[in-house]
Structure 1
Amino acid sequence: MNPERLAPRLFGRRVPLVLVAWLAAVWVTLWGDLSVGNVLGGLVAGLVVTWLLPMPVLDPGLRLRPVALVVFLVWFAWDLVLSTARVVFWVAHPGRPPSQIVRTPLRTTSDSMVVLILVALSTVPGTLVLEVDERELVVHVLGRREDATEIARADVAELESRIVRAFGTRRDREELG
């Protein structure tokens, strides 16, 4: 589809029609009454807002690769199950669970990839990102006994690789080697 058709020019500025339609729908929803006047008012308000306050063109630095995404999601779901079982075991087990704070380096320099890694790590039970410092993460790991440092570093490196394969740009994938 031609992008010119989705964002025609109005007095020299591009006006994205999809955004105008979305703003009109929000307008009608906020008024709580589906009428011709509200729809037209929403379209006019959407046109004015998008023309007066143009959005900059941003590239979030994400590329979606469906096969790698499915592989990542299956692996991540399995990691969630194992981590949940580990946390449940230590909650039900008497005594203090083993925990450790681990510094682990990241190989990627993409801010988008780092944010996805942080979200994924914070989602996994028993793992919490405490600090991000110059492409190095400080992670709290619960429930690992032997070699917790090396296991945590390997887990973060594996997560990073899978996220970059699923969402990274060509440059991101080249950084990992």
Structure 2
Amino acid sequence: MSGRSGPSRVPRLLGRPVPLSQVAWLTVVWLLLWGDLSVGNVLGGLLGGLVVVWLLPLPVVNTGLRVHPFAALVFLVRFAGDLVVSSFRVAFWALRLGALPPVHIVEVRLRSSSEVMAVLITVALSALPGSLVLEVHGRERELVLHVLGITGDVQEIVQDDVTRLESRIVAAFGTRADQEELR
């Protein structure tokens, strides 16, 4: 039906697809809910997962995401560092009595044309204290950001930060086409 063949083919049980990755995920959730790793719980989780995915099949959706484990780890570590730095920047300005922090509205251009990557970048930027995505211009691949506490050449600093973040996100979650686009 789906026209797929080869190793990406989903096994079938009584004519219905049974995605093993979903069965595995449901088994892990089952084990976490029970809080005890035993043979009975593993078998119960596998059986429950099989029944759920067989009775309630989900459509196959290509999200345009690919997880590259090492690059994802690099992204998470660097993003955690960015969270710490930006939190200290905001705290510094919050604790300076009487001094108002520099606030800027900056337009930055993304290099990736993928909407999925743009969403991930937008979420990551909005999660950082001191920055907020105000507008997204999809066709132009531009983001309008509100940034707090940055001094100097704000446009260049923010564009460089966004470009580095975009590179890490695309390396961690992008398809080959997304990664080729940034080269």
TM over 0.5: yes
Alignment match, 1:175: 181
1: CA distance, partners of 2:21 / 2:175: 26
Residues 17 and 54, structure 2, Cα contact 8 Å, conserved in 1: no
Structure 1 spans left out of the alignment, 5+ residues:
30-41
Residue 122 (1) aligns with residue 126 (2): yes
Residue 133 (1) aligns with residue 137 (2): yes
Match of 2:156 among 150, 157, 165: 150
1: CA distance, partners of 2:72 / 2:16: 37
Which whole-Å deviations, capped at 9, do the CAs of 1:99-153 have from their partners, x for residues lacking one?
1011111111222211211111111110001111122111100001211111111
Instruction: Give the superposition deviation at 1:16.
Output: 5.0
2: CA distance, partners of 1:90 / 1:132: 27
2: CA distance, partners of 1:129 / 1:136: 10
1: CA distance, partners of 2:22 / 2:68: 26
Residues 121 and 127, structure 1, Cα contact 8 Å, conserved in 2: yes
Alignment match, 1:33: none
Scaled by the length of structure 2, the TM-score of the pair is: 0.72
Alignment match, 1:110: 114
Alignment RMSD (CA, Å) = 3.0
Q: 1:13 to 1:148 in 2, by over 3 A?
A: same
Instruction: Give the superposition deviation at 1:69.
Output: 1.8
1: CA distance, partners of 2:73 / 2:54: 41
Structure 2 spans left out of the alignment, 5+ residues:
1-6, 34-47
Percent identity over paired residues: 53
2: CA distance, partners of 1:101 / 1:164: 25
Describe the SS at the equivalent of 1:146.
coil
2: CA distance, partners of 1:20 / 1:66: 21
2: CA distance, partners of 1:78 / 1:17: 35
Alignment match, 1:14: 17
Alignment match, 2:102: 98
Equivalenced residues, count: 157
Instruction: Give the superposition deviation at 1:163.
Output: 0.6
